[in-house]
């Protein structure tokens, strides 16, 4: 058997919806999406890597995705905590489970439940919900950035 041709698309759509539903007040862009951020003080960018697949047996598959959100905020000497507040909001959106559905408008996209992406947290494998602060991006840029990254797995049956 082989990987279902729709799984990657359904997972991407489900992850995008999950984080869009939890973005709070910040605009969320999907990597590659046209964005007009010149006049925005704060915004988020979702990056989705994978899925990578492991065939467990003839019909069962284990998929792994990396979800990374770039947090960008205006440099503000009056509020050095701004980036940390927004990064904390983003971290809270990484729930233990993200439900995946067959989202789309094609013949196979019936909006039904597909499965659960489960956040991986394992000290031995170095799977953590990671927050990385990059600080101010260049001396001429009035921009501060951080990323939040989590790894999720899902078990699917063909």
pLDDT in tens, the chain (158 residues): 689 999 999 999 999 999 999 999 999 999 878 888 878 889 999 999 999 999 999 999 999 999 999 999 988 888 889 999 999 999 999 999 999 999 999 999 999 999 999 999 988 888 899 999 998 877 667 889 999 999 999 999 98
For residue 105, the tally of other CB atoms under 10 A from its CB is 6
pTM to 2 decimal places? 0.93
Domains along the chain with CATH numbers: 7-157 (3.30.2000.20)
């Amino acid at each position: 058997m082989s990987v279902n041709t729709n799984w990657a698309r359904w997972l991407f759509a489900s992850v995008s919806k999950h984080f869009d539903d939890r973005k709070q007040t910040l605009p969320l862009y999907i990597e590659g999406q046209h964005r007009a951020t010149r006049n925005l003080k704060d915004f988020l960018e979702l990056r989705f890597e994978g899925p990578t697949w492991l065939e467990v047996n003839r019909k069962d598959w284990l998929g792994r995705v990396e979800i990374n959100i770039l947090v960008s905020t205006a440099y503000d000497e009056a509020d050095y905590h701004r980036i940390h507040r927004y990064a904390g909001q983003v971290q809270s959106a990484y729930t233990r489970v993200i439900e995946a559905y067959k989202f789309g408008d094609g013949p196979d996209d019936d909006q039904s439940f597909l499965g659960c992406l489960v956040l991986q947290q394992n000290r031995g494998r170095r799977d953590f919900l990671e927050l990385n602060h990059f600080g101010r991006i260049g001396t001429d840029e009035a921009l501060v950035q951080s990323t939040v990254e989590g790894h999720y797995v899902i078990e699917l049956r063909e």
